[in-house]
Amino acid sequence: MKFEFLLNIDNTIPRGERIKTDFRRLAFEVIRDTLKMDDKEFSDEIKKAAILKLYEMGKISSSIAAKTLGITRINFLEFLDKQKISYIDIKDSELEEDIRNA
């Protein structure tokens, strides 16, 4: 599996655009090779990183993230913990207010 799905490869692209695309492909291959991963492993890592970032940004829920990764929500929350990403989104001021009101 190559990275065409990430790079939007099309032979009808003008030469200058093909050079940019070739550069992107080379960059992906260099990163993949540096990490000593095959195409599937690298693709899976990119997918995980994208899902984690979307979750961190509040763009998707933990349920959607888990479903996209093909794991249970509990496994996703454990994965967040391993990545040192909080799954509780509460501001310090909200926490202080909750403590005062308790």
- The pLDDT tens digits for 15-28 are 667 677 777 778 87
More confident residue, 69 or 30: 69
What value, to the nearest 5°, has the Cα angle with vertex 101 and ends 97 and 102?
120
Report the predicted TM-score, pTM, of the whole model to 2 decimal places: 0.61
CA nearest 55: which of 36, 78, 76, 39?
76
